[in-house]
A and B are shown apart, each in its own frame.
Chain A
Amino acid sequence: MFHIIRDLLRFNREFAIGVAFLGLIVVYSLLSFVSPIDPDIQFMEFPDLPPSGEYWFGTNSRGQDLFWQLTFAFRNTLGFGIMVAAFSRVISITVGLVSGYVGGAVDRVLMVINDVFVTLPLLPVLLVFFFVLGDSLNTINLALLMACLGWPFDARLIRSITLGLRHREFTRHAMFSGMSPLKIMFEEHLPYVMPVVFATAMANMLWAIGVEVTLAVLGFTNINLATVGTTIYWANNHSAMIVGVWWWIVIPVVLVVMLFIGLYLLAVSLNEYIDPRSRLRRMGG
C-alpha cells in the first residue's frame, strides 16, 4: 500500500499534483479546529476589509474574517462529500456485488433500475425533493438522498468486475466448501473491487461537492451552515461583485476549483494505476 503511493507520487505527475491540491485544502480545513472565531457569529470584525497582513483573505460584508470562516466552509463541504461518497459506496458495492454474483433475474431487475437512475436528470429530481422536504432537507438527509441518486455508475463498474470473478476458480472453491453467498461476496470478492471503490469514491466526492455548491448557491440547502456553496450564496446575496468585495467570491472559487482539480487528478491517476487501459470515467452533474 505504502510503496504504491510512493511510486505514484514519484512517477505520476497527475497524482502528485492531485495530492498536493487536495492535501492543501484538507490541511486548510483542519485549521478550523484551532480557529479563534465562531463561524456563526457575525460582525465581529469590520466588514468589507480587503486582504491584508491582519486579515489574509479579508473580511466579508457580514463582518467575518474570511480566512477562518472559509476553514469551516471547507471542513463542512469536505465532510459532506465524504458522507455522500461513503453512503453511496455502500449502495453501489451492495448492488454491484449482488448483481454480478447472483445474476439472472435479480441482475436484470437491478440493471433496469440502474438504467432509470442513469437516465434521470438529477438536478430537477433534487429540486423536487427540496421542494417537498423544505427545511427538513438538512445536511445528513441531503447526503443520504444524493447517495441514493449517485450510485448507479459505480455499481455498474463493480458489477462488471464481479461478473469476471464469478467464473474464477476460487469462487467455485468457496461455493463447494459451503461458504454462504454473502460471505463469498463480502469476504472473497470485495477485496478485488476495493481499488475501484477508492478511485470512484474520489469522483463521487467531486460530484457531491459540485451539487452541494450548486444547491447552496441557489439557497436550497441550510444557508446558515458555513459551506463553500453558502459562502458564495451570501456573497451573491450581498452583491459582493457589484460592490467590489471581490475577494469574497474569488478566494472561495479559486480554492474550490483547486479542490475539484485535486480530486479529479486523484481519481484519474488511481484509475490509470488500477487499469492502464481504462477509460476515463466521466460524470455529469
Chain B
Amino acid sequence: MADVLTVAGLKAYYQTNYFGVQREVRAVDDISITVRADEVYGIAGESSSGKTTLIKTFAGAIHPPLRIVGGSMRYRFDGQEIDPYAVSAEELNRLRWRHVSYIMQGSMSVLNPVRRIHRSFADFAFSHMDLPKARFWQAVEEHLERLSLSPDVLRGYPHELSGGMRQRVTIALATVCRPGFIIADEPTTALDVVVQKDVLALLDDIRRTLKSSVVFVTHDMSVHANMADRIGIMYAGRIVEEGPTRALFTAPKHPYTAHLVASLPRIGDATRKPALGGRPPALSDPPGGCRFHPRCPLAIDKCRTEVPPLETVGADHRSACWRSAEVEPLTPPSGASGEEVA
C-alpha cells in the first residue's frame, strides 16, 4: 500500500514570551509516522499529550505561538509529493478540502454562528470543486442524502441543529469534496453515547465509499478499538508505541499502552482497573530519559537517563521502551474471580 502521509522527526513547539517570561512547550517532539492509503490511523493518548497539536501540524493549521521547529512532512496525492510547509499559500489552499480535510474538535463551534449552513458549504467547497453553481448544489444535496441528511439543513443556522446533527453536517462539509485524507480530531467527544455510535458509523461509511485515509484522534480507547486499523500511542509529545490495533490490544509492548488498554471496560469483567499513578508531565519541562519513567512500574535506572528509540518489536509493530520484551498485558484472563467490585 502506498503511503499518503510521511512524517519524519517532526517537532512543533509553542514558544511564548509574555511579560519577559519565555516558555517553550514541546507539544510535538520528534515524531515519525506514516499513514497509508485507505486506512484508519488512530492516535491515542491522555489530554495534553500533544495529539491535537500533532494533527494541527498535519492540517497545516499552524499559528504562532506554535512553530514547526524541525523534521519533515510530505503528502502524496495522485503520484505527486507535496510538503504543505514548503508550498505557496495558493498551492496549500488547493490542497485543502480537495485532498486534505479536517473534522475539528468541538462540533458546537466550528460553524460560523451568523451564517446559514448553505453559505458555509459554498465558502468551503465551491472553489475547490470546479463545478458550475447548479451542479455544485446538486452535488451537495446528493452528498447530504448519502449521509441521510435532509437538504433542508442547508437553510438553517448552526444553533438550530442538535449537537449530533451539527456533527453530521460538519462531517458532510468535510467530505463533500471527496478528499483522500481526512483528519478527525475527537469528532465524538462532546456527543452522547447513542449519537456517538451513529456519527462513527457515518464516518466509517463515508470513508469506505471514498476510500480515503483517516487520521483519527481520541483519548477513548473503545472508539479506537472499533475504528482504527493501526494505532499510534502518544505520551508527552512523543509516539511511544505504534502497531496494528489487534496487536496493540492483545499484546502491548509499552507499559503505558498496557495501562490504556487495561482501562477499557469489558462486558462481564468486574475487576477493579489498576489506576496509573501520577500525572502526565508538563510539556514545558518534561522529565529526562523516557518521559514515562516517573509513572512506570517497570522503570529502571537506564529509563531515567536514556531516551528509548522506537524499535520494531513485531510485525508492523514498534515500541519505545527499554524493557518492551517484559511488558505483559494487564488485563487478567477472562473468567477470573471478581471479588473486588468496582
Binding site for B on A (CB under 8 A): 7-8, 10-12
Contacts and interface: CB of A to CB of B under 8 A. Distances in A.
A12 B20 CA distance: 10
B301 to A, nearest CB: 41
Contacts of A12: 19
7 contacts: A7-B19, A7-B20, A8-B19, A10-B20, A11-B19, A11-B20, A12-B19
A9 to B, nearest CB: 11
A-B pairs with lowest CB-CB distance, top 6: A11-B19, A7-B19, A11-B20, A7-B20, A10-B20, A12-B19
A11 B19 CA distance: 6
A12 B19 CA distance: 8
Contacts, number: 7
Contacts of B19: 7-8, 11-12
Interface in B1-54: 19-20
A248 to B, nearest CB: 43
A276 to B, nearest CB: 8
A175 B19 CA distance: 38
Nearest to A7: B19
A158 to B, nearest CB: 25
A10 B19 CA distance: 8
Contacts of A8: 19
A11 B20 CA distance: 7
A1 to B, nearest CB: 15
B77 to A, nearest CB: 39
A120 B37 CA distance: 66
Contacts of A11: 19-20
Nearest to A273: B19
A7 B20 CA distance: 8
A156 B20 CA distance: 33
A12 B17 CA distance: 12
A271 to B, nearest CB: 15
A10 B17 CA distance: 13
Contacts of A10: 20
Contacts of B20: 7, 10-11
B128 to A, nearest CB: 33
A19 to B, nearest CB: 16
B342 to A, nearest CB: 28
Nearest to B17: A11
A16 to B, nearest CB: 13
Nearest to A276: B18
Interface in B132-191: none
